[in-house]
Amino acid sequence: MVLAEEFYENNIKKNRKESQELNVKVSIVGWSRLVVVILAVVIDYILYTQNSLKTIILVTIIFSIIFLALVFYHNNIFECKKKLDLLVEINEEGIKRLNGEFKYFKDNGEEYLDNKHSFINDLDIFGNNSVFQYINSTVTKGGREELSRVLKKEKILVVQEIRERQEAIKELGEKVSWRQKLIVEGKLKRSKDIDLNGLLKWSKVSESSSYLRIAIACTFIFVTLCSIYLIAVQKIPAAFLLLDLMVNYLVIKIMSKGIKEEIKLFENTKCAIYSYSRILELIENENFNSIYLKRLQDKLRSETTSCTEEMKKFSKIVDWAGNSSYNAYYLLFNIIIFLDVFLMSSLEKWREKNGDKLDIWLDVMHEIDALSSISNLSFENDKWIYPVILDTDGVEGAVIGHPLLGKRAVKNSFSLIDNRRVALITGSNMSGKSTFLRTIGVNLILSYIGAPVCAEKFSCGIMNVYTCMRTKDNLEESISSFYAEILRIKILIEACKKGEKIFFLLDEIFKGTNSKDRHTGATVLIKQLIQYGGFGLVSTHDLELCDLENEDRRIVNYNFREFYEKNKIKFDYILRRGKSETQNAIQLMKLAGIGIEIEK
């Protein structure tokens, strides 16, 4: 049994058992609360009939304390149970990834699909059955966005950075229990759509008018307390207090106009901030060994400030501020002691001290969230390897498989280095050409984000990946699939001319035109790409194109073949040197039941 599979199954059994045990406790404590309430009412009624007022007060206080203790205990047990249930869910998702069932995960990142991007659509980076759907286990909005950015290769990394990320991802892969704690904390009180930009914008505001607001609030609080005292000593009528509270309410409304949007912001972010404080605590207190993770962790620490302590304070203040619009107790306190004013003053003091650090802390959290997500690959695929990142261009690997195909992947060895610049891949329909192009492409992208790859050996230089594989008609822009292909090729050529290091994957180029034009266009294109220093793979049905290998040693031929067994077509998906010698279009038509007569 695979180590990851054993780990996940053992954790599912353990956590499910503990959850069931806690479920019994939850029921017992719940019924106990009801019994306490009934007993309190019955005893108070009996004492009431005996005119024992002092005893009623004492009994009520005692039962109230017991009830509150049970409520607190019940909430703790319920939270523990929820964490255990989340752990069961997390480990079940791990089993699904191992079984290739990740395509059923809800979050596939389809909003990141972009027809104009150089590779993400062709390589299934986002969308159904995609790399993102396979990898993603992020629990923060920023972590999810960070993962999308690295997969889109928006962050350009140098060789040393990739190597440091590899070390970090490998370490996080081994810290699976810690990573699961991070996921639990992120999911426990998860916000559906936190206004992260609004929160960061608030943290950068330097204006403060809290001193004036506090002075006004203290004046009205003093008047209210004096009113209560004078009513208690019967100097003024009780109705005066009602008038005083109405005035307080109006004053609060006027003073809150400037902070209304801020209060609304914290209502929407309080759950997320609580989760962030817990996640940052896990990160700051963990013992990391890799340089990359230590460097990130150091950003949370300073001689005067503890990120953990400051975020806990922030969470507590925000939790109060977030209750302002729907908590009756809060409304009462607000009218009497101007709670809004003092909370906003506390928030402004916190911002003054930590506002310039908040975005740094959150960036650290988001990056580690994304790295932890990528490290699923490391933990769940113990036979995958970390690629060697070269200072030179090219790709070479042994026993390379498509990362998304799991056990179904047929693995091949491949080399395109030194003086070899272009590999022509020929083969019959359905023989595996397109899948092999994606195999190389996806493993390259994983290499560039510091992840392990599906291979026994893999080395590559850092190159910008360009693909032309799934071009299609765009009726809105009146673009045919052939013209769409031309536009992508144009972008590729322009990138080469700019001096970019290019790795291209071209699948059956110029298939929308006649065979003569296709051959001529492909020949000219390949020669141009070599001239401008490009590396890459071109799949084609044009066997005459393979003659270029004899003209230019920088071009090498590979092929896939088919065979027939009991009148059925079979594929072994094995990559071989040389050009294809077989074709299967006619045979496939016959197998589909289409009668074909070939004239002699």
d(CA 430, CA 442): 19
Residue 535 CA to chain centroid, in angstroms?
32
171-177 — which CB contacts under 8 Å span 24+ positions? 171/288, 171/289, 171/290, 171/293, 172/293, 172/368, 172/371, 172/372, 172/375, 172/378, 173/375, 173/376, 173/377, 173/378, 173/379, 174/378, 174/379, 175/286, 176/7, 176/379
Report which of residues 328 and 273 the model is more confident about. Answer: 273
Q: 124-133, 217-226, 548-557: which range is least confident on average? A: 217-226
Report which of residues 79 and 205 the model is more confident about. Answer: 79
- What pLDDT is attached to residue 155? 78
- What pLDDT is attached to residue 471? 67
Query: What six digits make up the tokens of 151?
Result: 């997969």
Per-residue pLDDT band at 57 (split at 50, 70, 90): confident
On the question of pLDDT at 521 being above 80, the answer is yes
Dump pLDDT digits (tens) for 486-505.
888 999 999 999 989 999 99
Interval 307-334 mean pLDDT:
76
* Best CA proximity match to 91, nearest among 20, 15, 169: 15
Q: 431 and 583 in contact (C-beta within 8 Å)? A: no
Dump pLDDT digits (tens) for 240-282.
878 877 887 787 777 766 666 777 777 778 888 899 999 999 9
Interval 515-537 mean pLDDT:
89
CB within 8 A of 48, min separation 6: which ones? Answer: 56
Q: Can you give the pTM of this predicted structure?
A: 0.86
Q: Best-predicted range by mean pLDDT among 59-63, 80-84, 234-238?
A: 80-84
Burial profile 409-436: b = 16 or more Cβ within 10 angstroms, e = fewer: bbbbebebbeebbbbbbbbbeebbbbeb
- What pLDDT is attached to residue 445? 97
Dump pLDDT digits (tens) for 434-484.
999 999 999 999 999 999 999 999 999 999 999 998 766 454 444 567 777
Q: Where are the domains of the chain?
A: 1-99, 186-380, 388-591
Strand-by-strand arrangement of the 576-577 sheet: 464-468, 502-507, 535-540, 422-427, 555-560, 576-577
Q: 369 and 133 in contact (C-beta within 8 Å)? A: no
- What pLDDT is attached to residue 161? 94
Give the architecture (CATH level 2) of 388-591: 3-Layer(aba) Sandwich (3.40)
For the chain, what percent of residues have pLDDT higher than 90? Answer: 49
- 3-state helix, strand, coil split of the chain in percent (to 5) is 60, 10, 30
- What pLDDT is attached to residue 194? 76
Interval 560-575 mean pLDDT:
82
On the question of pLDDT at 310 being above 80, the answer is yes
Dump pLDDT digits (tens) for 118-136.
999 999 999 999 999 999 9
Residue 428 has φ and ψ, to the nearest 5°, of -75, 175
Query: Taking all residues of the chain, what is their mean pLDDT, rounded to a whole number?
Result: 86
Q: Best-predicted range by mean pLDDT among 140-144, 203-207, 231-235, 236-240?
A: 140-144
For the chain, what percent of residues have pLDDT higher than 70? Answer: 90
Give the pairing type, strands 422-427 and 535-540.
parallel
Dump pLDDT digits (tens) for 144-194.
999 999 999 987 888 999 999 999 999 999 999 999 999 999 998 776 667
Per-residue pLDDT band at 54 (split at 50, 70, 90): confident
- What pLDDT is attached to residue 392? 87
